[in-house]
A = this chain, B = another copy of it.
């Protein structure tokens, strides 16, 4: 009647708990960041990436690649961010198909306060709850998963952000 699957009970519990925990974590941090900056978490993350890049700018395609999302999302998102004045589009001289998204001064300013709130929320909802061992374990587990889900990405991401 009840046991529908061929699941190992322990696996199922782990899946359910982990899935729910990280969804709720994302949602909570999203609420906090949005309340402090007005920006959706994923938009805020784009600003963070730009702030770390040389000249505070990245190509649309680089943003899509680093975030593992579709070009159309970046196009929409940068459009909104540009409307809000957080970002400006800069035409690439060497390849005129390409555009840079460049963080504006307003973007930097917004990022300062939003970043503080992001850190606070991150700590409150995650790091303060975990022991140092658990943090290390989580990093290890996440990297293990990423090795399969986004192979060769960690190196690549830093390469992009350091200017190839």
Q: A68-B24, A126-B15 are in contact. Are A2 and B146 (CB under 8 A)?
A: no
| CB-based contact A15/B149 at 8 Å | no
Of the residues B6, B15, B134, contact of A137 by C-beta under 8 Å: B134
| CB-based contact A119/B14 at 8 Å | no
- A98: Cβ under 8 A from any B Cβ: no
Indicate with 1 or 0, residue by residue over A1-26, a CB within 8 angstroms of chain B CB atoms. Answer: 01011110011011101111111111
| CB-based contact A138/B4 at 8 Å | no
Of the residues B20, B118, B134, contact of A141 by C-beta under 8 Å: B134
Counting chain B CB atoms within 10 Å of each CB, which of A126, A127, A144, A145 scores highest? A145
Chain A interface category by residue count = 35 or more
When all copies of this chain in the complex are counted, the total is 2
| CB-based contact B142/A17 at 8 Å | yes
Counting chain B CB atoms within 10 Å of each CB, which of A17, A112, A116, A135 scores highest? A17
Indicate with 1 or 0, residue by residue over A47-90, a CB within 8 angstroms of chain B CB atoms. Answer: 01001100000000000000010000000000000000000000
Complex Cα distance A127/B145, Å?
Answer: 9
A/B interface sample: 17 pairs, CB < 8 A: A2-B51, A5-B118, A5-B119, A10-B135, A11-B122, A14-B127, A14-B138, A17-B139, A18-B141, A18-B142, A20-B146, A24-B68, A24-B149, A134-B140, A134-B141, A137-B138, A137-B141
